[in-house]
Each structure stands twice: as C-alpha cells, then as structure tokens.
Structure 1
Amino acid sequence: MWSAGAVTSFLEMKIAFTGKGGSGKSTLAALFVGYLRATGRRVLAVDADVNVHLAPLLGVVADSAAALSHPDNVTAVRRHLLGTNPLVGGVDRFVATTPAGPGSGLVTLESGDPVLARHAVALDERTHVMHVGTYEPEDIGAGCYHGHLSILENLLSHLRPADGDWVVCDMVAGTDAFANSLHAQFDAIVVVVEPTPESVTVACRYRELAAAAGVADLVTLVGNKVVDDVDVDYLRRELGAEPFAVLRAQAGLRRARQAGDCPRPADLDDPAPLRRIAERVRPMPAERRAAQLRALHLKVAEQERARSQLGPA
C-alpha cells in the first residue's frame, strides 16, 4: 500500500512543472498534487498550459468562462489585487510584473479567500484548482498566450501562502516561461525529460536560459517514461548530469489513464520520486526574489515607456 510519508519543509512553496510537450509534465504535476494532498498540505494547483491538461487530470472541467484569462475575470482579480494601493494608478494600469505594494489585496490559500472562492474549484477545503485558459475562437490571428499569462504573474506576485502551503503550477511546454517573469516566481522548477533527443534538447535549452536568468539552482531534472537502464544512461549522457529522480514507465498509471481515471500516486509502482522532489524544494530568499522581480519590472516598464512614446501604430 502506498504511503505518503512526510514533507520535511514547512514553509510555503511554489513549484512549477515544465518540459517538452508530451514529456508527462502535466501528469507528474497531477501526481505531485495528489502526493501533497495525501500529506495533509494545503494546495493551490494552477493549470497554466495552453493545452489545459492539469485541470482535467485533477477532475476539474476547464470552462472558458472560469479561466483566469477571461477578460471579466482579469478585471475582477486585478480589482482585488489593487486594493487601496495608490502606486498602481488603477486596474487598467496593471502590467504583468506589477508588484504588491501598500494597501494591495493579497491572496491566500484559505478556503474563504475571495479570489479562490470566485475563480477556483475546490476539490476539498484544502485543495483548489485554477486554470489560466487557452486560445478561444476570437483570439485567432490576434491572440498571444503570453498575454493570457500576465494575470497569473499578477496573482503569484500578490500570493501570500501560509507556512506549509504549496502552489503547484503546470507551465507551458518548452522555454516560454522566460518570455515573462514566471521563471522568477517559483522556489523550484521541475523540468520533466523523457529519453528522446527532442525532450533532452528542450531540457538543455531550459537549463541554459535558467543560468542566464540567474535561476539555474532552481531547476531540477526528472527523467520520465524510462523503460530500462539504457534509457537512464542515455539521459545521464545527453544531459551531462544525473537526473535528480527517474520515473519508470508505469503500466498501472497507463491503465488508469486509459480508463479515464485521474492519476493517483497509488498508481505508481514507486512513488518515492514524489517525496524526493518535495524534500528538495527550498524557499527562495525573499530578498533575492524581490530583486529579480524588481529588475524584470523595470525592464517591462521601460518597454511600456518606449511603446507609449512611439504612439499608436
């Protein structure tokens, strides 16, 4: 029988799962949410992938009207985040990197939090699921998913979990997190790698960009869909490093998915990698995160200033 064990860290944690599309990152994120729930943690799961896989994997119907990026929801969330902060200048002055300030409305993981109550689905009183959304027909030819993610950046910047709380985010595939501030919003970034050249290439590129962005120490490489030791050797050789954890191909998990069931840690032959990932995460020092987000905000502000000086196209 599967046992959850214990998560050794008791500070609030924010962890992202990414990797090449099809690597199993969404499934691993869902399994990790299940592991945290079994340990009694309070969890906010955020589906930030344009393909919207995590929410259904947790049993949540991803209704477009409930998406964080729906214009009505963006306005409502930003109105709450604005609070009485005089430094922003109004809801319409929010940019992706707008930080919390004096009087800002903050978001917690408590079941009575107004943002969770309105924009999340409760799996139980300690577990909530949000989804950012995807392209809609009206976005064809004029939409950019990076714009959809700006409300997630706002939410994470104003999020104040309590000790022991976790935020688990299933990110867009590949390296898109570096197009915004999301790479600096988390305490850990799990890059899921399957033993194929394409998946390894994405992982190596992610690691390179993480180093350039000053967050290389946050990246954890996890091998997935591994069949045998040849696969492990391949990952070790091509990554130039030992994968932190390896999940073997799981017949039980595959059968559960074929039956349409949500993935559970109990479906794994060995759930120990989930515990190891949780134990690895350490909170980023507040001063470091503030410095990184401030630098990114100044960069965005300069870009906005340049665009305003150019005037309408």
Structure 2
Amino acid sequence: MKIAFVGKGGSGKTTLSSLFIRHLAAGRVPVVAIDADINQHLGPALGLPEDEAAALPALGSHLTEIKEYLRGANPRIASAEAMIKTTPPGHGSRLLRLVEDNPIYAACARPVVLDDGPGVRLMVTGPFDEADLGVACYHSKVGAVELCLNHLVDGRGEYLVVDMTAGSDSFASGMFTRFDLTFLVAEPTRKGVAVYRQYKEYAADFGVNLAVVGNKIQGEDDVAFLRAEVGDDLLVTVGHSDWVRSMEKGRPPRFELLEGPNRRALRTLHERADAAYETRDWARYTRQMAHFHQRNAESWGNARTGDDLGAQIDPAFVLDESLSAATAGVRAGV
C-alpha cells in the first residue's frame, strides 16, 4: 500500500505520518518510510537524534545509481542519462518490492528501531540547502522518489508511507497520483480548509483517493467546522496529545502509552488504508504514469535530453503485483 500525508505547512502532517508509521510497526507491518518534505523532520519525529537524521543518505545524491538499477534491460531506455523523474517502467525494467533487499535500499535506506518492534526502513530526499539556492527547485530532489514509486509493485499488508511537501506543491509532478490513499491533514481554520479545497479540485480528474484527518482539535465546535467544510471526506479527528508533546521534546514514551483516542484514530486510518487495496486499479495507474511522462517529455524533457522521451512508454506494459515474481530472477542476478 502506498500512502501519502499532505497538508498545509504546520498542520501536523509529519507528526501524524510518524504516528501512523509507529502504529504500523507496532503491529509488525512491514514499512518503508520516505521523507519527501522540504523541511526533513520525519527522522527526528521517528526518534532519530538530529545529527543521525542529518547524516541520512539523500536519495537525490544517488539518482544516477537509482536510474541505472531501475532501467535494467529495458530496450526503450538507452542509458540512465535518458531517464527523467517520470520515466515509467516497461518490459526489461527492474521493479521494486517493499519487502526485499536491493541496491537502492542498500545505498539509501536506513533502519530505524521503534520500541521493541522490527522497526522501519527510512529514506529521505535530502534537505534544500545553500548550494541549491538560485540553481535548483525542491521538486528536482523528489524525482528519485517518483521514479521509485513508478517502479514499485507493492502488495496487501505492506506499506510505503510518504511525508509529502506542504500545500499544493505535490502537484508539480504526477506524484500525487502514485498513492492508493492520500491523508490530508487539516486544521479547523480557513487556511486549513483552503488547502483541502485546492487539493480536492486539482485531484478530481485523476481519481485520487482522499481522506481528511482533522488535527489540533480542541472541541466539538472544531469538529463541526470541519464537518461543515469538508463533509464526508472527514475521516477522523485528533486532539491534544501529551505523548506527542514529549516526543517533540525528544523524550518519546513507549508507543503503547499513546492516549487511547489517538490510538483509535490511528486504527481508523489503518482500516481505511487497508480498504483502499480493494479498489486498486493497476491499469489506470499505468496509464497515468504514461500521461504525466508524455507531458513532462513534451514540456521540457525532450529538449533537455535531445531525445523523444515519449518513446520510453511501453504500450504493452501494465504494472501489476504479478510482475514481482517474474523479476525476482533478474534481481537475483544483480
């Protein structure tokens, strides 16, 4: 399952995504977590000391290796240099599984131990720093994430959780369509609701599965406000948490001590995410990959590479879970 957390900056999406990751790990669910937010706070939210979080290998720094691995023996892709962030897989491409070992995880993923559970794999895009000012945009850093999502065949009972960029920045590429379910974290304010409306409008034509998580709720009036503004999209609400306050101070208690109402809210998120598996449409997913790749190729990719990148689209290829077994032998030979 591929899950995204989005929302206005400061809405608490990183905190809630980290709680959801902890909840999954506590239930022994395999999890790969990705911090794709410009602020890069997911590591500390999962309990990593600041220095260890800052030392995590950036996906963007390994982009060439990632491209080289994923293109495999795909005859439509002549070289890693010919790949852009939207390049879709085709026959001969290497595909990723969440529960496996591969060179991408070896280079970019690091284990994070949570209480006594099995922990999670964490990957990060890397921070936007002074070297990027004036010469790059943050969306270039999340290109590696989009490539990995395009080549991922994930199944029931295993999770990829991505803490996304704030607000509508997710729409700078087709990555917003790469998820089975998107949790939009909204505060009970006009600004929080405005981000929801914008996201809902942009996503309407692409079948994005969206659920609103009301955060920083202080009473029934806040719940009523959100219900009036977002209607049935409001899935659950979360209020004040002493556990979260301790976590933000760098002293998280054991996760089992999280307040009962908040644990129930996380179970509701999990149930909704599991239910999304039943409506998964791999054919539409593959068509959307091709759609956004063609758009990117025509708008800038062809000019940058000097090639017709639309030719990378394999019309006979449909991404599907059944392909993972077929690629196991290819991965074993790497």
Normalising by structure 2, we get a TM-score of: 0.82
Aligned mate of 1:244, from 235, 244, 264: 235
Of residues 70, 73, 92, the one that matches 1:84 is 73
List 4+ stretches of structure 1 deviating above 6 A. none
Between the aligned partners of 1:81 and 1:306, the Cα distance in structure 2 is: 20
Contact 1:34/1:265 (8 A) holds in 2: no
Identity %: 34
Q: Is the 8 A contact 2:33 2:162 kept in 1?
A: yes
Summarize the Cα distance change of 1:242–1:112 in structure 2 as closer, same or farther, 3 Å threshold.
closer
Q: Which residue of 1 aligns with 2:266?
A: 274
| Mapped contact 1:59–1:262 kept (Cα < 8 A) | no
* 1:63-89 deviations in Å (ceiling 9; x for gaps): 36711012xx11111111121112112
Aligned-pair CA distance for 1:202:
0.9
Alpha carbons of 1:143 and 1:285: their partners in 2 closer, same or farther (altered >3 Å)? same
Contact 1:109 1:116 in 2 (8 A): no
Q: Matched residues in 2 for 1:263 and 1:148: separation?
A: 34
Name the SS for the 1:256 alignment partner: helix
Q: Distance in 1 between matches of 2:256 and 2:167?
A: 25
1:299 equivalent to 2:295? Answer yes
Q: Deviations over 1:117-157 (max 9, x none)?
A: 22101125662000011212211111101111111110111
Q: How does 1:51-66 map to 2 (within 5 A)?
A: 51-60=39-48, 61-63=52-54, 66=57
Distance in 2 separating the partners of 1:268 and 1:21? 25
Verify the 8 A CA contact 1:23 1:194 in the aligned structure 2. Answer: yes
Q: Distance in 1 between matches of 2:143 and 2:20?
A: 25
Please, what is the CA RMSD of the aligned residues?
Answer: 2.2
Query: What is the number of residues matched between the two proteins?
Result: 294
Partner of 1:289: 285
Contact kept in structure 2, 1:253 and 1:263, CA below 8 Å: no
Query: SS of the counterpart of 1:175?
Result: helix
The 2-side partners of 1:274 and 1:148 are apart by 30
**Hey, what's the Cα distance between the residues in 2 that align with 1:150 and 1:294?**
16
| Greater helix fraction, Structure 1 or Structure 2 | 2
> CA 1:78–1:63 in structure 2 vs 1: closer, same or farther (change >3 Å)?
farther
Gaps of 5+ in 1: 1-12
1:276 CA displacement:
1.2
Over 3 Å counting, the alpha-carbon distance change for 1:263 and 1:51 in structure 2 is farther
Q: Say whether the 8 Å CA contact 1:100–1:158 is kept in structure 2.
A: yes
Flag the 1:24–1:264 CA change in 2: closer, same or farther, 3 A.
Answer: farther
Kindly provide the amino acid, as one letter, of the partner of residue 85 in structure 2.
A
**Residues 298, 31 of structure 1: alpha-carbon distance in 2 compared, 3 angstrom cutoff:** same
Give the counterpart letter for 2:71 in structure 1: L
Where does the alignment leave 5 or more consecutive residues of structure 2 unmatched? 307-334
Contact 2:32 2:121 in 1 (8 A): yes
1:160 paired with 2:149, answer no
